[in-house]
Amino acid sequence: MQASSSPIAYAPLSGRVFIADSNPKHLATVTKILRENGCDEVVGATDGTVAERLLKTQSLDMAVIDIKMPGGMQLLNIALRLTPPLPVVIFTSYTTVKQTVRAMRLGAVDYVVKPVDANDLLTAVYRAVERKRVFDHVSARQVEAGTGFGELLGTSSAMQAVFDQIRRAAPFKSTVLITGESGTGKELVASAIHSLSTVSNGPFVAINCSALPVGLAESELFGHEEGAFTGATQSRQGFFEVAQGGTLFLDEIGDLEMQVQTKLLRVLEEQKIRHLGANQLIDVNVRVIAATNMNLTTAVKMGRFREDLYYRLNVIHIPVPPLKARKSDIPLLVRSFSERFADQNGISPIEIPYRCLDRMAEYDWPGNVRELKNMVERLVIYAADGNRTIGEKDIESILPIDDRIAPLDDTESQKSDFLPRRLDEVEREIILDTLLHTDGNRTQSAEILGISVRTLQRKIIEYGVTPQKI
């Protein structure tokens, strides 16, 4: 067991973890580490028959399985076939690359290379437990179709911060400003806040401010009386009244007309609206959540957005990270989207090898989660001919031409011995230097290099960088 030079601070694991490892000493060491970091209970087994019985009869949050132990792959299959499937992290080594690849293709969520680094172990276990917690929460608190918690998934630290802010903001009635690039899931964040709030039984009304008709935004939001303007043949409620007792989500708030911004500020301050063409005030009980992909501080300086409205909306600020800042969530999102689209079309989900997922992580996804979702839907449709395993050529073929990832088969590049050799040497040297700098800590090294721990471990194996050489 490798010691970590700079231990990472983890939230308590608070889960029930199962470990199958034929080495009693290693099992005891791993058990101690997990218990010291908050696991409610660690269930261990060194015998394959006992391990199988425990998997089938115990209530568990995740499993760690040594695939080198007798019956290890069988245990992995059992865990993945449970209802619901159990998240599995595998113990592997530099001599079991083929088994590792097979295990990941079967559905293991992560792997840790022996001799085990404590931080690598804790990172993998924490993410697996948190993934199950998120899935369980989604199942229990599913809200309106298409806007619910279902697509708001992630085990990355960036998304964990978002989940934490959602939980903190939900119980209160304060306004929330959600910022982030287009396609990051800002509406999903707003819906999650609503579903966890005290007004979750009320309506969740989502409005795209940029789509409101020019000159009619005030009427759409606050309502109007018959004859208030040309074409107003009857009185009509605005979206504030439709959302009464619930949440009004104002997406793309930065595109709202200045005149309407003034009236919105007054409504937020007074909790009263006035129909266009009327004198009577109407009390409203609505929580307002706004979102934008615009830099509102810049818009304020340019005179395009009211400064006082900005401060009134920005009571609680939740920034949503772009997908390129949370690429470790791509496998989880791909699997979720694949299962959903396959179910909608009455076919089995597609399988994407982890090597292809690593290649997908090399793309920056300018369209964020929305682009990834659309890509997975196309992959599901393309695979409808019966071939359920996706290859790198399938992924490359549907990426934008200017941003396509290099195919895995680099036969053409092998025609020159000079460039690939130099690139490999440079990359290997950078990895070695980084590992030496962190005293072999893979988690810290991956963060410095800007890649996932899984990608780093794959490259360590590929370049033959053993712990002795580190």
Helices (H), 283-407: 296-301, 307-313, 330-345, 354-360, 368-382, 392-397
| Average pLDDT of every residue of the chain | 80
CA–CA dist 55, 78 (Å, integer): 8
Q: Which residues pair with 17 in a beta bridge?
A: 42, 62
| Least confident stretch, 16-30, 226-240, 279-293 | 226-240
Question: Which letter does DSSP use for residue 69 in this model?
Answer: S
The correct answer on CATH 1.10.10.60 for the domain covering 415-470 is: yes
Q: What is the pLDDT of residues 388-426, one digit of tens each?
A: 667 777 777 777 655 554 444 444 333 433 334 456 666
Write out the residue limits of the CATH 1.10.10.60 domain(s) in the chain. Answer: 415-470
Write out the residue limits of the CATH 3.40.50.2300 domain(s) in the chain. Answer: 1-143
289 compared with 15, residue with greater pLDDT:
289
| Least confident stretch, 7-16, 244-253, 350-359 | 7-16
Asked if 58 and 43 count as a contact pair (C-beta separation under 8 A), the reply is: yes
H/E segment holding residue 383: none
CA–CA dist 310, 380 (Å, integer): 42
How large is the average pLDDT for residues 176-200?
Answer: 93
The pLDDT, as a whole number, for residue 205 is: 95
Q: Is the pLDDT of residue 6 over 50?
A: no
The pLDDT, as a whole number, for residue 188 is: 93
How large is the average pLDDT for residues 360-378?
Answer: 89
The CATH number of 1-143 is: 3.40.50.2300
The CATH number of 157-322 is: 3.40.50.300
CA–CA dist 387, 366 (Å, integer): 29
Per-residue b or e along 258-280, where b marks 16 or more CB atoms closer than 10 Å to that residue's CB: eebbebbbebbeeeebbbbebee
How large a percentage of the chain has pLDDT more than 70? Answer: 80
The pLDDT, as a whole number, for residue 311 is: 95
According to DSSP, the β-strands at 316-319 and 176-179 are: parallel
Closest CA to 160 of 128, 115, 130, 125: 130
169 compared with 127, residue with greater pLDDT:
169
Please report, to the nearest 10 degrees, the dihedral formed by the alpha carbons of residues 29, 32, 38, 44 taken in order.
Answer: 80
**In sequence order, which residues have a C-beta less than 8 Å from that of residue 311 and are 6 or more positions away?**
none
CA–CA dist 242, 139 (Å, integer): 27
Question: Which letter does DSSP use for residue 209 in this model?
Answer: G
Considering the domain delimited by 326-403, tell me its CATH architecture.
Orthogonal Bundle (1.10)
CA–CA dist 444, 449 (Å, integer): 9
**Band of pLDDT at residue 4, cut at 50, 70 and 90:** very low
CA–CA dist 78, 4 (Å, integer): 32
Please report, to the nearest 10 degrees, the dihedral formed by the alpha carbons of residues 422, 424, 429, 435 taken in order.
Answer: 170
The pLDDT, as a whole number, for residue 468 is: 46
Q: What is the pLDDT of residues 147-157, one digit of tens each?
A: 235 568 887 88
Q: Is the pLDDT of residue 125 over 90?
A: no
The pLDDT, as a whole number, for residue 420 is: 43
Question: Which letter does DSSP use for residue 407 in this model?
Answer: P
According to DSSP, the β-strands at 16-20 and 62-66 are: parallel
Write out the residue limits of the CATH 3.40.50.300 domain(s) in the chain. Answer: 157-322
CA–CA dist 428, 434 (Å, integer): 10
The pLDDT, as a whole number, for residue 63 is: 92
Q: What is the pLDDT of residues 202-245, one digit of tens each?
A: 999 999 998 888 778 888 899 878 766 666 677 788 899 999 99
Closest CA to 249 of 306, 310, 292: 292
